[in-house]
Amino acid sequence: MADVLSERQKDRFKAIRLLAEGTNVNEVARKMHKDPRWVSRTRDRFKELGSLKDRSRPGAPKKLTEADRKRLVKQVQGKERRSLRKTAKSFKTKDHGQVGRETIRTNLKASGLFPHRKRKVPRLTPDQKRRRVAFARKYRRYDWTKCAFWDETEFELYATPNRKNDIVWDKKGAEYRAGKVAHPPKFKFGAAITVHGPTRIVRYTGTIDSTKYIEMVDKVIPDLNRLFKKGEWTWVQDGASPHTSKMTLSHLKSVVPDLFPTDDWPANSPDDNPAENVFGFTESEVNAKSPETIKSLEGKIRAVWKKLTPQYCRSCIEALPARLKQMIDSGGEYVYEVKLPAKT
């Protein structure tokens, strides 16, 4: 009989056998490394049904059979670049065909796997965490929809994959580190993101100083005045030196309607800026096309950028309050994936 039982049913059988032998609920839980509530539910289910099977489910039926789940685990466990989106595109079942990301996530976690991201960013210091929490508390209810979020980025020709998508599903405690190609060619640019869509890409070379930064800003100002038809918007930037020099701040105050307080933006906080979400999405789309020359890299970046919709940019910005709440709840840790509240 044990040969035809699923792993879940084997656990239930063991729990029922121990209970029948006179072992109490807490002792069974300790022996099986389970929660006592699980033992109680297992006992009650067995009394009700007289079998080890699940109760009939009121919701939608399971989309993955036990065989499907084992095949899914074999496909992704310990494999690099296995984001939920990529896995959902490639994994198909016999009965339901392609399934969604949440189905993939639920079944991987039920199989004891967890998402591991390769460590790339430095660890935050206690003071940085404190400042991030203070920022999140102050601006959690701020109206971010009137903001233009500026940032610069660089895409490498042989890129280290975006950490949001370069996920390895494995047992808890496993750790992976990002590799890197030495001195790859890069395409560097800056841009601003708004709820009405992105501005143009402004390419730059070398390092950015105040003069170069001002020139870049001036190129996107017309785009922002077009996107915000009433001309009312706030320029948001991080605290990088070229952004906060006296010359830069003086110029910004003369060309933007409103400037977000530069002293309030916490250091080492790229996850606060929705522009980083858009850059991350663009990078994953470009990397999937595997450009082989810097010209090809630039062309693919611009092609993806042109397809960015106002709806996508808005979703990144409107997720910021939930991101800040998670930052508060975690004590200032990085927020890689936003858990949006359920819609009612």
The count of other CB atoms within 10 Å of the CB of residue 283 is: 21
Same domain for 17 and 148, yes or no, is no
Same domain for 81 and 184, yes or no, is no
Same domain for 228 and 194, yes or no, is yes
Same domain for 154 and 275, yes or no, is yes
Same domain for 93 and 132, yes or no, is no
Q: Which of 283, 264, 279 is nearest to 324 (CA)?
A: 264
Same domain for 227 and 290, yes or no, is yes
What is the predicted pLDDT for the residue at 90? 85
Instruction: Determine, yes or no, domain membership for 116.
Output: no
Structure letter (DSSP) for residue 28:
H
Write out the residue range of the structural domain in which residue 101 sits.
66-111
Instruction: Determine, yes or no, domain membership for 54.
Output: no
Instruction: Determine, yes or no, domain membership for 199.
Output: yes
CA triplet 303, 304, 306: central angle to 5 degrees? 70
The count of domains in the chain is 3
Instruction: Determine, yes or no, domain membership for 223.
Output: yes
Same domain for 186 and 218, yes or no, is yes
In angstroms, rounded to a whole number, what is the distance separating the alpha carbons of residues 298 and 287? 12
- Exposed/middle/buried for residue 48 (C-beta within 10 Å: 0-12, 13-18, 19+): exposed
In angstroms, rounded to a whole number, what is the distance separating the alpha carbons of residues 53 and 49? 8
In angstroms, rounded to a whole number, what is the distance separating the alpha carbons of residues 260 and 248? 14
Same domain for 92 and 165, yes or no, is no
Same domain for 166 and 259, yes or no, is yes
Alpha-carbon separation of residue 36 from 26, 53, 78, 171 (angstroms): 6, 19, 31, 23
Same domain for 310 and 188, yes or no, is yes
Instruction: Determine, yes or no, domain membership for 334.
Output: no
In angstroms, rounded to a whole number, what is the distance separating the alpha carbons of residues 325 and 137? 8
What is the predicted pLDDT for the residue at 342? 44
Tokens read off for 32:
């099986």
Provide the residue-wise pLDDT of the chain in tens; the chain has 344 residues.
445 678 888 899 999 999 999 999 999 999 999 899 999 999 998 988 888 887 776 666 677 888 888 899 888 888 876 778 888 888 888 777 888 888 888 888 888 887 765 555 567 899 999 999 999 999 999 999 999 999 999 998 865 455 555 677 787 767 655 555 556 789 999 999 999 999 999 999 999 999 999 999 999 999 999 999 888 999 999 999 999 999 999 999 999 999 999 889 998 888 889 999 899 889 888 887 878 889 999 999 999 999 999 999 999 999 999 999 999 999 999 887 766 444 33
Residue 193: beta bridge partners? 149, 198
pTM (2 decimals)?
0.61
Same domain for 14 and 141, yes or no, is no
Q: How many helices (H) and strands (E) does the chain have?
A: 14, 10
In angstroms, rounded to a whole number, what is the distance separating the alpha carbons of residues 85 and 288? 13
Strands of 205-261, DSSP E: 234-236, 258-259
Same domain for 153 and 273, yes or no, is yes
